[in-house]
Amino acid sequence: MTREISETKTVTACLIVIGNEILSGRTRDANLQFLAENLNALGIRLMEGRIIPDVEDTIIAAVNDARARFDYVFTTGGIGPTHDDITAAAVARAFGRRLIRHPAAEALLLAHYRPEDVTPERMKMADVPEDAVLLDNPVSRAPGFQVDNVFVLPGVPRIMQAMFDLFKHRLAGGAAMLSRSIASYTPEGEIAARLADLQGAYPALEIGSYPFSRDGRHGATIVIRGTDQADIAQAADALRAIIRGLGGEPQDVDL
Amino acid sequence: MTREISETKTVTACLIVIGNEILSGRTRDANLQFLAENLNALGIRLMEGRIIPDVEDTIIAAVNDARARFDYVFTTGGIGPTHDDITAAAVARAFGRRLIRHPAAEALLLAHYRPEDVTPERMKMADVPEDAVLLDNPVSRAPGFQVDNVFVLPGVPRIMQAMFDLFKHRLAGGAAMLSRSIASYTPEGEIAARLADLQGAYPALEIGSYPFSRDGRHGATIVIRGTDQADIAQAADALRAIIRGLGGEPQDVDL
């Protein structure tokens, strides 16, 4: 896949987490935060996360919606050997492609398992949509795959992360998103008006405010994000002045 | 709001997590798992989670999509005093209602803050869509609100959870979802075929398989979920027999 992505365009991504175990509360998702941070480092912004059940029509609708709206789509979950692993078949249907047994994936699995451990269910992990590109799995061998802008990955975080590290160089990012966080014990309600002015003065930056309380004291961490290092530094200086003006002590929290 | 929900119907919910800080990886969401577990206990199934940025049009689209598809919709995040807190205004627009200053919310905030701490930004937290019902906040006072089937809650987990506990008795659940989990060191690839048969024999149950590896040994936890206690017990007995038949030792992991 070749994607023409300019230096200045925002490159976007969506993560679709597929799994009843997340929606039942049994398991807490860990893949969204990993992808958010690692895509960010590549200049790709995670714009949406979606957590859906192992239901074919739901997966098809979510994949087709997301691949039309975002530059990259990642799915996690549902590519193992059991009956509830239906992601590959659903993605094939989303693209209107046949599900085929991929010869290289089949060879990988046959080399990995002892002959007596080769079961039809395990070999199902070699089934991918026609013309899909395999994604190497250095941990447990069964590969993920890529179809156009959709990357299909396993749900187990350790395996997903190892796979991501192997293909991430193929993702074309845009301008890297930079950020600076400054905390103080100035409560949100006191700094809010000045913060809105600051946001108004720097429309290209994204200024977020996240309240905290520690030892009974209220404060807020202000996060300034953007692609222009100089703009961010200037806005951070202005923010420190605002905090001092309100009697607070600004603290850089991410140096 | 009165909702007519029968004992046997599946009552569904969607959570919309609003916040750039989740999508940037800065903060790991904790609200989805809490709501999943607590709704489950009320006989309400979380069917989708959606994580979106603090962008008005995106919030409006997500709220309108979700409130049409699910019995209950919960939003978390974006109801504080700062410029990036735009959830109340976005929900008002989603419903085509005016955003009004709610007299009771205003009174709450005026009673909570010292006169010198009353700022226009803090009072913004009293603005809700017309005819919204306030949701008590026992921690930091600023209320959430309900419009029709949409419940608008803060993002800070401790506050969101305290608020949920105060209004949850008003949610009408369906049949409670029960579950049983059985683990063994039988790998997924070996049990998969029998598991598919078991799922076929109990179409009303949801049988999920979640692989694990511990101390270099591979195994899987099988989760059987459904609304009929007797069915679940029967399927669990069958599953234990399957595991023993494959030379494994079934372990009940949630008694």
ipTM, two decimals: 0.92
Task: HSE, CB side, 13 Å, CA atoms: give it for residue B248.
Answer: 23
Torsion angle of alpha carbons A65, B90, B130, B95, nearest 10°? -20
Amino acid at B100: I
Same domain for A112 and A187: no
Q: What average pLDDT does range A49-57 have in this prediction?
A: 97
In a domain, B2, yes or no: no
CATH number at residue B29: 3.40.980.10
Band (pLDDT 50/70/90 cuts) for residue A5 is: very low
- Residues B104 and B153 reside in one and the same domain: yes
- B246 and B197 in a common domain: yes
Regarding whether B130 and B92 lie in a shared domain, the answer is yes
pTM: 0.93
pLDDT, position A254: 72
Of residues A7 and A60, more confidently modeled? A60
B240 and B204, same structural domain?
A: yes
Let me know if residue B5 belongs to a domain: no
Under 8 Å CB-to-CB from A17, ≥6 apart: which residues?
A29, A31, A32, A49, A50, A51, A52, A75, A76, A77, A155, B49
Domain with B116, as residue range(s), is 11-170
Judged by average pLDDT, the poorest of A30-39, A170-179, B5-14, B241-250 is B5-14
Let me know whether B148 and B186 are in one domain: no
| Interchain contact, A83 vs B50, CB within 8 Å | no
- Over residues A115-125, the pLDDT tens digits come to 999 999 999 99
A184 & A223 share domain: yes
Kindly tell me if the per-residue pLDDT of B130 is higher than 90: yes
* Residue A4 pLDDT level (bands cut at 50, 70, 90): very low
- How many beta-carbon contacts under 8 Å exist across A and B? 184
Q: Is residue B3 part of a domain?
A: no
Residue A226 belongs to a domain with what CATH number? 3.30.70.260
pLDDT at A187: 92
172-231 in chain A: CB under 8 A from chain B: 177, 179, 181, 188-193, 195-196, 199, 206-211, 220, 223, 225
The verdict on residue B1 lying in a domain is no
Q: Is residue A3 part of a domain?
A: no
On whether both B68 and B162 belong to a single domain, the answer is yes
Give percent of chain B above pLDDT 70. 96
Two structure tokens written together for A88: 């590959």
Helices B229-245, B188-201: inter-axial angle, 10-degree rounding: 150
List pLDDT tens digits, range A66-109: 999 999 999 999 999 999 999 999 999 999 999 999 999 999 99
Is residue A32 domain-shared with residue A107, that is, in the same domain? yes
Place of tokens 């802008």: A149
What pLDDT is attached to residue A255?
Answer: 44
A138, part of any domain: yes
The verdict on B147 and B248 lying in the same domain is: no
Residues B110, B133 within the same domain: yes
Of A170, A188, A222, the domain-final residue: A170
Task: Compare CB distances from A51 to B37, B48, B58 and report the shortest one's residue.
Answer: B48
Q: A12 touching B, CB under 8 A? A: no
Last residue of a domain, one of A139, A170, A201: A170
What are the tens digits of pLDDT across the range A190-247?
Answer: 999 999 999 999 999 999 999 998 888 999 999 999 999 999 999 999 999 999 999 9
Environment class of A103 (CB within 10 Å of its CB; exposed 0-12, middle 13-18, buried 19+)? exposed
pLDDT band at B4 (very low <50, low <70, confident <90, very high): very low
Closest CA to B147 of B106, B87, B107, B103: B87
pLDDT for position B165 = 97
Q: What value does the mean pLDDT of chain B take?
A: 94
Residues B15 and B104 in one domain: yes
Final residue belonging to a domain, choices A113, A148, A170: A170
* Exposure class string for A36-73: b at 16+ Cβ within 10 A, else e: bebbbebbbbbbbbbbbbbeeebbbebbbbbbeebbbb
Q: At A216, which amino acid appears?
A: G
User: How many domains does the structure of chain A reveal?
Assistant: 2
Chain A contacts in chain B segment 40-59 (CB below 8 A): 40, 45-54, 58
| Mean pLDDT value across residues A164-188 | 94
Choose, out of A14, A17, A23, A28, the residue to mutate when testing the contact with B (most B CBs < 10 Å): A23
* Chain B residues in contact with A141 (beta carbon < 8 A): none
Q: Which residues of B touch A190 (CB under 8 A)?
A: 117, 119
- pLDDT at B7 > cutoff 60: no
The predicted pLDDT at position B216 comes to 85
Q: Does residue A6 fall inside a structural domain?
A: no
Contacts of residue A96, defined as CB under 8 A and 6 or more positions apart, other chains included, come to none
Res. B1: pLDDT tops 60: no
Please say if the pLDDT value at position A3 is more than 60.
Answer: no
Domain-located, residue B118: yes
